[in-house]
Structure formats: C-alpha cells, structure tokens
Structure 1
Amino acid sequence: MQNPFDDSDARFLVLVNDQDQHSLWPGFVSVPAGWVVLHGPDDRQVCLDYIERNWTDMRPRRVRELDRV
C-alpha cells in the first residue's frame, strides 16, 4: 500500500492548529479534531510551497509568545 502523503497525483490540504502549526493532509482523509483547513484542496507541491512560504517559525505559538516576554 502506498503512503497517501507521498502520492504526487493526489489532492492535499494544508491544515493549521491552534498553535499555528501546519500540516500537509491528504484531501480524502477527514480533518482531525483541533485542526482546520487553511488552504486547498490543491496539488501536493502547491500545498508544500504554501507551507514553506507561510510557516516560517515552526515553534508552537505558546513558545513564541514566551520568547517575546
């Protein structure tokens, strides 16, 4: 069985959680609790490019906020 995250022909979503963490997600799989769709459905590479452009600090939001204090 092929890993659905590696299928370059599939449609994908970009998800985000309440800590601003992003995830590439297969479009046919239900969105897990605590995550919302931020982009898509779209091609895998387009979603990866979106994540690269928009998720520039991988630390969870609560850690970033502590660093600002």
Structure 2
Amino acid sequence: MADEQTYHVVLNEELQYSIWRADLAIPNGWRPEGTSGTREQCLAHIDEVWTDMRPLSLRRQMEQTERA
C-alpha cells in the first residue's frame, strides 16, 4: 500500500532533519524547513541537504577546539 500522505521536512535547533505529516501540528522544538511532498520526496531531499549529521552544538564545539 502506497503512502499517500503529504509530509513536511522539519529542522530542530541542532539543525537535525526529520519529516512530519502535514496534517499534524509540528511539535515544539521543530520548524518547517520549506520542503513538502511525499515521504520519499522528503527523505530524498534530506539525503541531499543533510551532509553533516553532527548536531550543531557539536560542530561548534569542534570548531572551537580546532582554533585553540
């Protein structure tokens, strides 16, 4: 059975991606990224744009360590 739901790509404060059904309220801590479509379309978009899966706080910490 094909999933005919529409989804939104969402981001949290750590710039981590997920998908969320469009018919549901986006949970606290997440915001729309701007992409909507089928589950497969949203996941394909995430695969393209989420190239560094480390949380933002870890990336910042690592950058500061490299500068020291």
Further displaced range: 37-46 or 56-65 = 37-46
Please, what TM-score do these two structures have when normalized by structure 2?
0.82
- Once the two structures are aligned, what percentage of the paired residues are identical? 30
How many residues align? The count is 63
User: CA shift at 1:40, angstroms?
Assistant: 3.3
User: CA shift at 1:8, angstroms?
Assistant: 2.1
Following the alignment from structure 1 to structure 2, what is the Cα–Cα distance between the partners of residues 31 and 40? 14
From 18, 25, 42, give the equivalent of 1:23: 18
From 38, 43, 46, give the equivalent of 2:41: 46
The gaps in structure 2 that reach 5 residues or longer are none
Counterpart amino acid of residue 22 in structure 1:
Y
1:34 aligns with 2:29: yes
Aligned to 1:4: none
Please, what TM-score do these two structures have when normalized by structure 1?
0.81
CA RMSD of aligned residues (A): 1.3
